[in-house]
Amino acid sequence: MSSQSLLRYGISLGLLLLILMNVDFDILLSETSLSSLQLLFPATLAIVGQIIFLNFRWHILLNAGRQKVSFRHSLFINIAGYFANILFITSVGGIIAKSGLAIKHGVSVMHSIFVTFLDRFMTLFALLAFTIISLPFLSSILDQQIASMLSACIIFIVLAVGVSLGILRSGFLKNYILSSRRRSRLIATVRHVLENPKLMGKTIAHSLIAQAFFILCVFILSLGIEYDGNVIQFLALLPVLSLISSLPISFGGWGVREGAFIYGLGLIGFSLESAFLLSVQVGLVTLIAPFFVGLPYLLDKDFKKFFPSKAKATK
């Protein structure tokens, strides 16, 4: 096990232990009612919906090149990425798995790597978009420093993307790009995808719908927890909490997500135990849902057909 993996385990375990030391288990057990457990199934279905729309996005990006991959195979590649994230802890594991399987299915190396990273970035973009929409509803509860940090991060990312696209389209680096065949092919792939308005429009739409399904999942789970506060503020907080939880510094977001939920939801009246329970339930359904989607592949008698041999894969 690498030192990076050990560090992620350490952060998750450390944060969870710190939280558990402050949890009143009698209150936590009383919060874990039968009704809250019954909500796990519809919440899991919401995450399945998120996965399906994320795969619509992945399928579109994957097929933007010359080689076409069926929806069923693209879904398999995507689910393999989910499982790789779990097995190898870091999101890099998912990126390697998705890129490698895409290449095995005949997609070019450059296209596979680029669309895998773009696919990840579009999730960040969707969370940022929802966060921008949410900030006005949170002005009365968010600390001014935190609100300023969030705004600064959003502005920095938007400017960085804007400047990068401007440089790319200006031809300023033309001589540098053309001096290497590999760089030329990469930039050609990037421009082919990013300068296709219809493709990018669908990609953005699917990204936003996917994150809306995640928000729906958390809302469903919250119905099993007693809360008499402002529902609008609760929904507005979720993209911010999801953005913080997605930081690649722990094992699958565990510990970081719980800390974010406890702090954020505490601002609108959630008890520590209620926020902790909701966060754990969110973690559970996001682990369970990929298994539901991947089950048909595991039950397929000819499971090996989803792993094409090198001889069958086109270059």
What does 52-70 look like in DSSP terms, one character per residue?
A: HHHHHHHHHHHTTSSS---
Whether residue 12 lies inside any domain: the answer is: no
175-207: per-residue pLDDT in tens? 656 666 776 777 777 877 888 889 999 999 999
Number of residues that make up the chain = 315
Structural domain count, the chain:
1
Residue 61's contacts (CB-CB under 8 Å, 6 or more residues apart) are 115, 118, 119, 193, 199, 203
pTM (2 d.p.): 0.86
Q: What percent of the chain has pLDDT over 90?
A: 26
Short-list 28, 32, 36, 22, CA closest to 222: 36
Residue 194's contacts (CB-CB under 8 Å, 6 or more residues apart) are 165, 168, 200
DSSP sequence for 42-111: HHHHHHHHHHHHHHHHHHHHHTTSSS---HHHHHHHHHHHHHHHHHHSSHHHHHHHHHHHHHHTT--HHH
CA separation, residue 234 to residues 102, 143, 213, 227, 270 (Å): 39, 16, 15, 10, 10
Whether residue 120 lies inside any domain: the answer is: yes
pLDDT at 312 over 50: no
Tell me what pLDDT residue 178 has.
61
pLDDT at 43 over 90: yes
pLDDT at 314 over 50: no
d(CA 163, CA 97): 30
The band of 313, judged by pLDDT with boundaries at 50, 70 and 90, is very low
Whether residue 28 lies inside any domain: the answer is: no
Whether residue 5 lies inside any domain: the answer is: no
Whether residue 58 lies inside any domain: the answer is: yes
Pairwise pLDDT comparison (168 vs 296), residue with the higher score: 296
What residue numbers bound the domain in which 214 lies?
A: 39-295
Whether residue 129 lies inside any domain: the answer is: yes
The predicted model gives 213-240 an average pLDDT of: 91
Whether residue 54 lies inside any domain: the answer is: yes
The band of 30, judged by pLDDT with boundaries at 50, 70 and 90, is confident
pLDDT at 168 over 70: no
Tokens 């009698």: give the residue.
26
Beta carbons of 112 and 202 less than 8 angstroms apart: no
